[in-house]
Structure 1
Amino acid sequence: MRIIEICFTGFDTAERKILWDLAESNGFLVRKEVTKNLHVLCVGDNAGPKKLEAAIKDGVIIMSGDDFITYTKTGIPQPIKDAIEQLRLSRQV
């Protein structure tokens, strides 16, 4: 699987740093903003509405910080991998 781009929103500074470092150490490309190539938006309790709106509009997968941590420990479930690949393919058109 190719690199997965992820963005974190709604976390305090300490939480964001932990998640950011975890993402990078697991091969994710971390973005500060929702971009046209973003695959996953990881949201905390104070998620920014503009980032959420942009992610929903672009079909980005949205998950919680707890889900992200679990996935880095256990592996990303196949349905999410499939959804990310479908997202990639839809953007190539």
Structure 2
Amino acid sequence: MFLSAYHFDGDPAVLIPAYETLMSGFPPDAAQLHVCVVTDSGITVYDACPSRAVFEEFSREFPAMVVAVGLPAPRITPLGDVHNAITAVSR
């Protein structure tokens, strides 16, 4: 898995509904690892793709998806290959 971060600057109260609209367009089982974090400056989404090649392909398609739901253009940070991931889901 290849992890990247998508930083969206702005008011989280505005960004979260647009992010949720974006995510509703993906099948529930599409993400292997996906985390949305509210920050002081907006939201940051950590997302894992199966490989760096898949990340690069997705990154070419992603800007149009973002604009379509009203999110600002993100700052995208490729982070690297995931060595280990431990998750516990609670809501």
- TM normalised by structure 1 equals 0.29
What TM-score do the two structures reach when normalised by structure 2?
0.30
Q: Which has the higher strand share?
A: 2
Q: Which structure has more RCO (C-alpha within 8 Å, separation ≥ 6)?
A: 2
Quick check: which one's helix share is greater? Answer: 1
